[in-house]
Amino acid sequence: MAFPHNSIRAFLAHAKTSFSKAIEKSQRVTIVADNESADLDSLASSVLYAYIRSLSPPRNAFTPLYIPLLNIPATDISLRPEFGALFHHAGFHATDLVTLDDLPPEQESKLKPENTRWILVDHNKLQGALGMKYGGRVHGVIDHHEDESSVPQDTDPEPQVIEKCGSCTSLVIRTLKSSWDASSGSSSLSSSAAHAQGDSLANDASISRKWDAQVAKIALASILIDTANLTATGKVEEADKEAVKYLEAKINVSPQDATRWNRDEYYEEINTAKRNIDKLSFNDILRKDYKQWTENGMNLGISSVVKPLDFLAKKGTKESDGDKEDHFVTAIGDFMAERDLTVFAIMTTSTSTDGQFQRELYTQALSAGHAAASSFSEHAAEELQLEDHSIPALSEKPGAMQQSSEGPWRKIWLQKDVSKSRKQVAPLLRKAMAA
Protein backbone atom coordinates (compact mmCIF):
# COMPACT_ATOMS: atom_id res chain seq x y z
CA MET A 1 0.00 0.00 0.00
CA ALA A 2 1.39 3.36 -1.02
CA PHE A 3 2.11 6.01 1.59
CA PRO A 4 -0.55 8.74 1.25
CA HIS A 5 0.62 12.17 0.14
CA ASN A 6 1.77 13.99 3.26
CA SER A 7 4.59 16.15 4.55
CA ILE A 8 8.19 14.98 4.54
CA ARG A 9 8.14 15.12 8.34
CA ALA A 10 5.18 12.74 8.51
CA PHE A 11 6.84 10.41 6.01
CA LEU A 12 10.12 10.29 7.95
CA ALA A 13 8.29 9.57 11.20
CA HIS A 14 6.38 6.74 9.53
CA ALA A 15 9.56 5.37 7.92
CA LYS A 16 11.48 5.38 11.19
CA THR A 17 8.72 3.63 13.14
CA SER A 18 8.10 1.10 10.36
CA PHE A 19 11.81 0.33 10.05
CA SER A 20 12.09 -0.44 13.75
CA LYS A 21 9.04 -2.71 13.64
CA ALA A 22 10.28 -4.51 10.52
CA ILE A 23 13.61 -5.27 12.17
CA GLU A 24 11.94 -6.54 15.33
CA LYS A 25 9.53 -8.78 13.41
CA SER A 26 12.04 -9.88 10.73
CA GLN A 27 9.94 -8.36 7.96
CA ARG A 28 11.10 -7.20 4.54
CA VAL A 29 12.58 -3.71 4.16
CA THR A 30 13.74 -1.63 1.21
CA ILE A 31 16.56 0.71 2.18
CA VAL A 32 17.69 3.74 0.17
CA ALA A 33 21.28 4.26 1.30
CA ASP A 34 23.38 7.33 0.61
CA ASN A 35 27.18 7.31 0.68
CA GLU A 36 29.31 7.43 3.81
CA SER A 37 30.21 11.10 3.44
CA ALA A 38 26.50 11.87 3.99
CA ASP A 39 26.66 15.35 2.51
CA LEU A 40 23.68 17.39 1.32
CA ASP A 41 23.55 15.60 -2.03
CA SER A 42 23.48 12.21 -0.34
CA LEU A 43 20.88 13.25 2.22
CA ALA A 44 18.60 14.83 -0.37
CA SER A 45 18.96 11.95 -2.82
CA SER A 46 18.05 9.26 -0.27
CA VAL A 47 15.18 11.19 1.32
CA LEU A 48 13.68 12.22 -2.02
CA TYR A 49 13.98 8.79 -3.59
CA ALA A 50 12.40 7.09 -0.58
CA TYR A 51 9.64 9.69 -0.23
CA ILE A 52 8.58 9.80 -3.88
CA ARG A 53 8.91 6.06 -4.41
CA SER A 54 6.79 5.38 -1.31
CA LEU A 55 4.06 7.67 -2.66
CA SER A 56 3.91 5.62 -5.86
CA PRO A 57 5.69 2.26 -5.50
CA PRO A 58 5.98 -0.08 -8.50
CA ARG A 59 3.53 -3.00 -8.52
CA ASN A 60 6.33 -5.52 -8.13
CA ALA A 61 8.29 -3.55 -5.53
CA PHE A 62 10.07 -5.57 -2.84
CA THR A 63 8.12 -3.50 -0.30
CA PRO A 64 5.79 -0.52 -0.82
CA LEU A 65 7.65 1.57 1.76
CA TYR A 66 11.20 2.79 1.10
CA ILE A 67 13.41 3.70 4.07
CA PRO A 68 15.97 6.53 3.60
CA LEU A 69 19.19 5.72 5.48
CA LEU A 70 21.63 8.47 6.37
CA ASN A 71 24.94 6.60 6.34
CA ILE A 72 26.42 8.11 9.53
CA PRO A 73 25.73 7.89 13.27
CA ALA A 74 23.14 10.37 14.54
CA THR A 75 25.77 12.29 16.52
CA ASP A 76 27.62 13.18 13.31
CA ILE A 77 24.67 15.19 11.99
CA SER A 78 25.85 18.06 14.21
CA LEU A 79 29.07 18.22 12.16
CA ARG A 80 27.00 19.46 9.21
CA PRO A 81 25.66 22.95 10.01
CA GLU A 82 24.12 23.15 6.55
CA PHE A 83 21.71 20.39 7.58
CA GLY A 84 20.30 22.61 10.33
CA ALA A 85 19.67 25.40 7.84
CA LEU A 86 17.91 22.95 5.54
CA PHE A 87 15.78 21.37 8.28
CA HIS A 88 14.28 24.79 9.03
CA HIS A 89 13.02 25.13 5.46
CA ALA A 90 11.98 21.49 5.03
CA GLY A 91 9.95 21.27 8.24
CA PHE A 92 11.66 18.36 9.96
CA HIS A 93 14.40 17.71 12.53
CA ALA A 94 17.60 15.69 12.81
CA THR A 95 15.88 13.23 15.13
CA ASP A 96 13.40 12.37 12.36
CA LEU A 97 16.11 10.80 10.21
CA VAL A 98 16.99 7.10 10.06
CA THR A 99 20.73 6.75 10.70
CA LEU A 100 23.25 3.98 11.31
CA ASP A 101 22.17 4.04 14.96
CA ASP A 102 18.81 2.62 13.90
CA LEU A 103 20.42 -0.53 12.50
CA PRO A 104 20.57 -3.47 14.90
CA PRO A 105 23.96 -4.33 16.45
CA GLU A 106 25.94 -6.68 14.24
CA GLN A 107 25.95 -9.40 16.87
CA GLU A 108 22.13 -9.51 16.97
CA SER A 109 21.77 -10.21 13.24
CA LYS A 110 18.12 -9.14 13.29
CA LEU A 111 18.30 -7.50 9.86
CA LYS A 112 18.96 -10.55 7.72
CA PRO A 113 20.28 -9.85 4.21
CA GLU A 114 17.52 -11.90 2.56
CA ASN A 115 14.92 -9.62 4.15
CA THR A 116 16.48 -6.51 2.61
CA ARG A 117 16.77 -4.79 -0.74
CA TRP A 118 19.15 -1.85 -1.08
CA ILE A 119 18.93 1.09 -3.47
CA LEU A 120 22.12 3.17 -3.68
CA VAL A 121 22.08 6.91 -4.29
CA ASP A 122 25.15 9.13 -4.69
CA HIS A 123 27.39 6.03 -4.87
CA ASN A 124 27.23 2.76 -6.77
CA LYS A 125 29.03 0.34 -4.48
CA LEU A 126 28.08 -0.36 -0.89
CA GLN A 127 31.28 0.09 1.14
CA GLY A 128 32.57 -1.03 4.53
CA ALA A 129 30.67 -3.24 6.97
CA LEU A 130 27.37 -2.66 5.19
CA GLY A 131 28.90 -3.70 1.90
CA MET A 132 30.35 -6.87 3.37
CA LYS A 133 26.98 -7.96 4.73
CA TYR A 134 24.45 -6.50 2.30
CA GLY A 135 26.45 -5.85 -0.89
CA GLY A 136 24.76 -8.75 -2.63
CA ARG A 137 21.32 -7.27 -1.94
CA VAL A 138 21.79 -4.07 -3.95
CA HIS A 139 19.01 -3.79 -6.53
CA GLY A 140 18.99 -0.26 -7.93
CA VAL A 141 21.14 2.83 -8.22
CA ILE A 142 21.11 6.50 -9.12
CA ASP A 143 24.59 8.01 -9.05
CA HIS A 144 26.95 10.47 -10.73
CA HIS A 145 30.30 8.91 -9.80
CA GLU A 146 32.52 6.59 -11.83
CA ASP A 147 30.80 3.24 -12.39
CA GLU A 148 32.39 0.53 -10.22
CA SER A 149 30.41 -2.25 -11.99
CA SER A 150 29.04 -3.49 -8.69
CA VAL A 151 25.29 -3.24 -9.31
CA PRO A 152 23.55 -6.10 -11.18
CA GLN A 153 22.52 -5.40 -14.77
CA ASP A 154 18.86 -6.19 -14.13
CA THR A 155 17.46 -4.09 -11.28
CA ASP A 156 13.83 -3.98 -12.39
CA PRO A 157 11.64 -2.39 -11.08
CA GLU A 158 14.25 -0.03 -9.66
CA PRO A 159 16.32 2.25 -11.90
CA GLN A 160 19.97 1.90 -12.82
CA VAL A 161 21.23 5.40 -13.60
CA ILE A 162 24.95 6.19 -13.47
CA GLU A 163 25.95 9.27 -15.43
CA LYS A 164 27.82 12.53 -15.13
CA CYS A 165 25.87 15.29 -13.43
CA GLY A 166 26.56 18.19 -11.11
CA SER A 167 24.29 16.73 -8.44
CA CYS A 168 22.94 13.23 -7.91
CA THR A 169 19.75 14.85 -6.67
CA SER A 170 19.14 16.17 -10.19
CA LEU A 171 19.17 12.60 -11.52
CA VAL A 172 16.76 11.47 -8.79
CA ILE A 173 14.36 14.26 -9.74
CA ARG A 174 14.60 13.50 -13.45
CA THR A 175 13.96 9.80 -12.80
CA LEU A 176 11.03 10.17 -10.41
CA LYS A 177 9.34 13.48 -11.21
CA SER A 178 6.49 11.87 -13.16
CA SER A 179 5.69 9.70 -10.13
CA TRP A 180 5.85 12.74 -7.85
CA ASP A 181 3.53 14.74 -10.09
CA ALA A 182 1.06 11.87 -10.33
CA SER A 183 0.94 11.28 -6.57
CA SER A 184 0.67 15.00 -5.77
CA GLY A 185 -1.98 15.65 -8.40
CA SER A 186 -4.21 12.76 -7.42
CA SER A 187 -3.81 13.06 -3.65
CA SER A 188 -6.59 13.89 -1.27
CA LEU A 189 -5.79 14.77 2.31
CA SER A 190 -7.27 13.00 5.27
CA SER A 191 -8.27 15.05 8.26
CA SER A 192 -5.63 13.25 10.34
CA ALA A 193 -2.92 14.15 7.85
CA ALA A 194 -3.86 17.80 7.83
CA HIS A 195 -4.31 18.12 11.59
CA ALA A 196 -1.02 16.32 12.21
CA GLN A 197 0.67 19.25 10.51
CA GLY A 198 -1.32 21.87 12.41
CA ASP A 199 -3.49 22.66 9.38
CA SER A 200 -7.21 22.46 8.64
CA LEU A 201 -8.99 21.08 5.60
CA ALA A 202 -10.02 24.56 4.46
CA ASN A 203 -7.59 24.45 1.60
CA ASP A 204 -6.34 20.95 0.79
CA ALA A 205 -4.56 22.10 -2.36
CA SER A 206 -2.65 24.79 -0.47
CA ILE A 207 -1.48 22.31 2.14
CA SER A 208 -0.42 19.80 -0.51
CA ARG A 209 1.54 22.44 -2.38
CA LYS A 210 3.25 23.55 0.80
CA TRP A 211 4.42 19.99 1.39
CA ASP A 212 5.72 19.78 -2.18
CA ALA A 213 7.52 23.09 -1.76
CA GLN A 214 9.27 21.78 1.37
CA VAL A 215 10.44 18.71 -0.53
CA ALA A 216 11.57 20.90 -3.43
CA LYS A 217 13.70 22.98 -1.07
CA ILE A 218 15.49 19.83 0.10
CA ALA A 219 16.42 19.03 -3.49
CA LEU A 220 17.36 22.61 -4.34
CA ALA A 221 19.70 22.92 -1.36
CA SER A 222 21.67 19.97 -2.69
CA ILE A 223 21.72 20.94 -6.35
CA LEU A 224 22.58 24.59 -5.73
CA ILE A 225 25.44 23.73 -3.36
CA ASP A 226 26.88 21.10 -5.71
CA THR A 227 26.74 23.42 -8.74
CA ALA A 228 27.51 26.75 -6.99
CA ASN A 229 24.03 27.99 -7.87
CA LEU A 230 24.37 26.63 -11.43
CA THR A 231 27.59 28.60 -12.05
CA ALA A 232 30.26 25.87 -11.64
CA THR A 233 32.15 25.67 -14.93
CA GLY A 234 32.50 22.14 -16.28
CA LYS A 235 30.19 20.71 -13.66
CA VAL A 236 26.65 21.87 -14.45
CA GLU A 237 24.71 19.54 -16.74
CA GLU A 238 21.36 19.96 -18.47
CA ALA A 239 19.77 17.66 -15.88
CA ASP A 240 20.80 20.13 -13.15
CA LYS A 241 19.26 23.08 -14.96
CA GLU A 242 16.04 21.20 -15.71
CA ALA A 243 15.76 19.99 -12.12
CA VAL A 244 16.11 23.52 -10.72
CA LYS A 245 13.47 24.80 -13.15
CA TYR A 246 11.09 21.98 -12.21
CA LEU A 247 11.65 22.39 -8.45
CA GLU A 248 11.23 26.16 -8.49
CA ALA A 249 7.90 25.62 -10.25
CA LYS A 250 6.85 23.46 -7.29
CA ILE A 251 7.67 26.33 -4.95
CA ASN A 252 6.03 28.99 -7.09
CA VAL A 253 2.62 27.28 -7.01
CA SER A 254 2.63 27.21 -3.22
CA PRO A 255 0.79 30.31 -1.93
CA GLN A 256 2.81 30.24 1.29
CA ASP A 257 6.19 30.07 -0.45
CA ALA A 258 6.01 31.75 -3.85
CA THR A 259 6.20 35.37 -2.71
CA ARG A 260 9.10 34.72 -0.35
CA TRP A 261 11.22 32.52 -2.59
CA ASN A 262 14.58 33.86 -3.73
CA ARG A 263 16.99 31.30 -5.12
CA ASP A 264 20.13 33.40 -4.69
CA GLU A 265 19.34 34.16 -1.05
CA TYR A 266 18.55 30.51 -0.37
CA TYR A 267 21.85 29.40 -1.87
CA GLU A 268 23.78 31.96 0.16
CA GLU A 269 22.06 30.86 3.37
CA ILE A 270 22.84 27.18 2.87
CA ASN A 271 26.36 27.84 1.59
CA THR A 272 27.19 30.14 4.51
CA ALA A 273 25.98 27.52 6.96
CA LYS A 274 28.05 24.83 5.21
CA ARG A 275 31.22 26.91 5.48
CA ASN A 276 30.66 27.69 9.15
CA ILE A 277 33.04 25.08 10.56
CA ASP A 278 35.06 27.34 12.86
CA LYS A 279 33.68 25.70 16.01
CA LEU A 280 34.51 22.18 14.86
CA SER A 281 37.70 20.51 16.08
CA PHE A 282 40.54 19.58 13.73
CA ASN A 283 39.48 15.94 13.84
CA ASP A 284 35.79 16.72 13.31
CA ILE A 285 36.57 18.84 10.26
CA LEU A 286 38.32 15.86 8.70
CA ARG A 287 35.39 13.58 9.64
CA LYS A 288 32.68 15.93 8.38
CA ASP A 289 32.87 15.04 4.68
CA TYR A 290 34.94 11.88 4.52
CA LYS A 291 34.96 8.83 2.23
CA GLN A 292 37.03 5.66 2.30
CA TRP A 293 37.92 2.88 -0.16
CA THR A 294 40.09 -0.25 -0.20
CA GLU A 295 42.44 -0.97 -3.10
CA ASN A 296 45.07 -3.69 -3.35
CA GLY A 297 44.84 -4.39 0.38
CA MET A 298 45.38 -0.70 1.26
CA ASN A 299 42.83 1.78 2.61
CA LEU A 300 42.43 5.23 1.08
CA GLY A 301 40.62 8.09 2.78
CA ILE A 302 39.74 11.52 1.40
CA SER A 303 38.35 14.43 3.39
CA SER A 304 36.74 17.39 1.66
CA VAL A 305 37.11 20.65 3.58
CA VAL A 306 35.39 23.96 2.80
CA LYS A 307 38.26 26.07 4.14
CA PRO A 308 41.88 26.43 2.91
CA LEU A 309 44.69 24.30 4.30
CA ASP A 310 46.05 27.37 6.09
CA PHE A 311 42.86 27.47 8.19
CA LEU A 312 43.18 23.78 8.99
CA ALA A 313 46.85 24.07 9.95
CA LYS A 314 46.13 27.02 12.24
CA LYS A 315 43.26 25.09 13.80
CA GLY A 316 45.62 22.20 14.56
CA THR A 317 48.27 24.51 15.98
CA LYS A 318 45.77 26.26 18.25
CA GLU A 319 44.56 22.94 19.64
CA SER A 320 48.06 21.58 20.23
CA ASP A 321 49.89 24.58 21.70
CA GLY A 322 52.96 22.98 20.19
CA ASP A 323 55.06 22.90 17.09
CA LYS A 324 52.73 23.75 14.22
CA GLU A 325 54.25 21.55 11.55
CA ASP A 326 54.79 18.56 13.78
CA HIS A 327 51.24 18.74 15.12
CA PHE A 328 49.69 19.00 11.68
CA VAL A 329 51.49 15.89 10.42
CA THR A 330 50.99 14.03 13.70
CA ALA A 331 47.29 14.85 13.89
CA ILE A 332 46.78 13.60 10.35
CA GLY A 333 48.83 10.51 11.22
CA ASP A 334 46.53 9.85 14.18
CA PHE A 335 43.48 10.27 11.95
CA MET A 336 44.97 7.77 9.51
CA ALA A 337 45.83 5.29 12.26
CA GLU A 338 42.27 5.33 13.62
CA ARG A 339 41.01 4.26 10.19
CA ASP A 340 43.93 2.04 9.21
CA LEU A 341 44.68 4.25 6.20
CA THR A 342 47.71 3.79 4.00
CA VAL A 343 47.02 6.90 1.90
CA PHE A 344 45.06 9.98 2.96
CA ALA A 345 44.19 13.14 1.08
CA ILE A 346 42.59 16.45 2.00
CA MET A 347 40.83 18.39 -0.74
CA THR A 348 39.98 21.99 0.10
CA THR A 349 37.75 24.56 -1.56
CA SER A 350 38.00 28.26 -0.82
CA THR A 351 38.12 31.72 -2.36
CA SER A 352 41.53 33.20 -3.14
CA THR A 353 42.60 36.73 -2.17
CA ASP A 354 41.59 37.94 -5.63
CA GLY A 355 38.12 36.42 -5.33
CA GLN A 356 38.67 33.28 -7.41
CA PHE A 357 37.42 29.81 -6.51
CA GLN A 358 40.39 27.58 -5.72
CA ARG A 359 41.26 24.01 -4.73
CA GLU A 360 44.19 22.68 -2.74
CA LEU A 361 45.26 19.05 -2.41
CA TYR A 362 47.29 17.58 0.44
CA THR A 363 48.39 13.93 0.33
CA GLN A 364 50.07 11.89 3.06
CA ALA A 365 51.06 8.23 2.76
CA LEU A 366 52.65 5.61 4.99
CA SER A 367 55.68 3.73 3.73
CA ALA A 368 53.45 1.04 2.18
CA GLY A 369 51.79 3.74 0.11
CA HIS A 370 54.90 5.65 -1.01
CA ALA A 371 54.90 4.06 -4.47
CA ALA A 372 51.20 4.75 -4.98
CA ALA A 373 51.53 8.36 -3.85
CA SER A 374 54.53 8.93 -6.11
CA SER A 375 52.69 7.34 -9.05
CA PHE A 376 49.68 9.57 -8.44
CA SER A 377 51.92 12.63 -8.23
CA GLU A 378 53.54 11.74 -11.54
CA HIS A 379 50.51 10.68 -13.56
CA ALA A 380 47.75 12.93 -12.18
CA ALA A 381 49.72 16.18 -12.24
CA GLU A 382 48.79 17.05 -15.82
CA GLU A 383 45.16 15.96 -15.64
CA LEU A 384 44.48 17.89 -12.44
CA GLN A 385 46.90 20.72 -13.31
CA LEU A 386 48.74 20.33 -10.01
CA GLU A 387 51.24 23.00 -9.00
CA ASP A 388 53.62 22.80 -6.04
CA HIS A 389 52.15 24.83 -3.23
CA SER A 390 52.93 26.02 0.29
CA ILE A 391 50.75 27.30 3.10
CA PRO A 392 51.71 30.13 5.48
CA ALA A 393 50.77 28.24 8.65
CA LEU A 394 53.38 25.57 7.91
CA SER A 395 57.09 26.08 7.39
CA GLU A 396 57.33 23.66 4.48
CA LYS A 397 58.67 24.90 1.19
CA PRO A 398 56.47 24.66 -1.92
CA GLY A 399 55.97 21.05 -2.89
CA ALA A 400 58.04 19.78 0.02
CA MET A 401 57.79 16.08 0.64
CA GLN A 402 59.39 13.36 2.68
CA GLN A 403 60.00 10.01 1.04
CA SER A 404 62.16 8.15 3.53
CA SER A 405 61.32 4.53 4.16
CA GLU A 406 60.25 5.36 7.71
CA GLY A 407 58.54 8.76 7.59
CA PRO A 408 55.31 9.71 5.84
CA TRP A 409 55.27 10.76 2.19
CA ARG A 410 53.50 14.13 1.97
CA LYS A 411 52.97 16.85 -0.54
CA ILE A 412 50.86 19.97 -1.06
CA TRP A 413 49.51 21.16 -4.40
CA LEU A 414 47.36 23.90 -5.77
CA GLN A 415 44.87 22.20 -8.07
CA LYS A 416 44.41 24.54 -11.01
CA ASP A 417 41.68 22.47 -12.67
CA VAL A 418 38.99 23.42 -10.18
CA SER A 419 36.31 21.48 -12.09
CA LYS A 420 37.72 18.21 -10.71
CA SER A 421 36.27 17.27 -7.33
CA ARG A 422 36.65 14.14 -5.23
CA LYS A 423 34.60 12.29 -7.84
CA GLN A 424 37.55 12.63 -10.24
CA VAL A 425 40.48 12.65 -7.80
CA ALA A 426 39.51 9.49 -5.90
CA PRO A 427 39.59 7.24 -8.99
CA LEU A 428 43.06 8.54 -9.86
CA LEU A 429 44.39 7.77 -6.40
CA ARG A 430 42.68 4.37 -6.39
CA LYS A 431 44.19 3.56 -9.78
CA ALA A 432 47.66 4.38 -8.47
CA MET A 433 47.09 2.16 -5.44
CA ALA A 434 45.77 -0.72 -7.54
CA ALA A 435 48.79 -0.75 -9.88
pLDDT of the residue at 329:
81
Alpha-helical (H) ranges within 257-364 are: 263-274, 282-288, 309-320, 324-338
3-state DSSP call for residue 312? helix
Distance CA 302, CA 287 (A): 10
Distance CA 153, CA 8 (A): 32
DSSP 201-245: GGGHHHHHHHHHHHHHHHHHHHHHHHTTTTT-TTT--HHHHHHHH
CB of 313 closer than 8 Å to CB of 305: no
Looking only at Cα atoms, what is the longest distance across the chain? 74
pLDDT of the residue at 273:
96
- State yes or no: cis peptide before 408, omega within 30 of 0: no
pLDDT of the residue at 200:
41
pLDDT digits (tens, 9 = 90+) for 405-419: 567 899 999 999 998
CB of 39 closer than 8 Å to CB of 76: no
Lowest-pLDDT choice from 223-227, 313-317, 424-428? 313-317
pLDDT of the residue at 28:
97
Distance CA 111, CA 53 (A): 22
What's the whole-number mean pLDDT along residues 203-211? 85
Mean residue pLDDT across the chain: 90
Residue 191, pLDDT > 90, answer no
Residue 108, pLDDT > 80, answer no
Number of H helices, E strands in the chain: 14, 12
pLDDT digits (tens, 9 = 90+) for 372-414: 999 999 999 999 999 999 887 776 544 555 555 567 899 999 9
pLDDT of the residue at 192:
45
User: 11 or 325: which carries more pLDDT confidence?
Assistant: 11
Identify which of 290, 212, 278 has the alpha carbon closest to the alpha carbon of residue 246: 212
pLDDT of the residue at 190:
42
What confidence category does residue 193 fall into, taking pLDDT thresholds of 50, 70 and 90?
very low
Lowest-pLDDT choice from 163-167, 281-285, 315-319, 403-407? 403-407
What's the whole-number mean pLDDT along residues 270-279? 95
What confidence category does residue 316 fall into, taking pLDDT thresholds of 50, 70 and 90?
confident
